[in-house]
Amino acid sequence: MTALKLVIERECSSDHRFALRRFVCCEPGGPEWAMDPQRYIRGLNVRRQPSDITRTLLVVAGADRSQDDVVGFSEYGVAVETTPEHEGVYQIAYIATALKTRGTHLGDLMLSAVLMHISDDAWRFNRTPLVLAQVDPRNKPSMQLFSRFGFTDEGPDPDDTEYRILALEFTPQEHGPYLASTLAYF
């Protein structure tokens, strides 16, 4: 049954481990490029979070965090630290939305929130304002999502030519504490 739901952003925590194991972002037997993120998200060990990686979720909040319904997942961070000798870079490793939410543009909300967090981090820590994403070009929804946000296709990844490198230079800005939220029908 389709209903209006409040979707909010939360940091991923060990309270979400069971909800992540149930996360479905593609049809059963879907293409490999769609199955890979689902397997990764379902297999995450959220009890140990690396310090250089941020994981956020879009959820329909439950009575407590362990009862949240996860409808979006992102993983991003500093891939190469900025130093006086060279520029650094941020990397968006995953943006995924639940299959049941397709067509609601929650991916746009998730990417917008990630970019706000990265922009704030670059402003606070004087890091290079450049973010990269590696996307399988057969994943048309992801290619279109990143394109809508101004990412440019830099060509094949030299280390894995099946994937494209998408890049965005941005202006660092202070955003302070920010949590995304929206109303969505699904």
Tens digit of each residue's pLDDT (9 = 90 or more) over 61-78: 888 888 899 999 999 999
What is the DSSP code (8-state) at residue 142? H
Select from 143, 138, 140, 133 the least CA-distant residue to 170: 133
Select from 176, 175, 154 the least CA-distant residue to 164: 154
Express each pLDDT in 97-110 by its tens digit.
999 999 999 999 99
| Domains of the chain by residue range | 4-185
The answer to whether 151 touches 97, Cβ cutoff 8 Å, is no
Q: What is the pTM of this model?
A: 0.92
Select from 65, 72, 111 the least CA-distant residue to 90: 111
The answer to whether 115 touches 131, Cβ cutoff 8 Å, is yes
Place of tokens 């297999």: 43
Tell me the C-alpha distance between 153 and 132, whole Å: 10
The answer to whether 149 touches 133, Cβ cutoff 8 Å, is no
Tell me the C-alpha distance between 168 and 149, whole Å: 8
Q: CATH 3.40.630.30: does it fit domain 4-185? A: yes
Tokens of 53: 């990686």
Mean pLDDT (whole number) for 5-9:
92
Mean pLDDT (whole number) for 21-48:
92
* Predicted local distance difference test score (pLDDT) of residue 48: 80
Tell me the C-alpha distance between 174 and 151, whole Å: 21
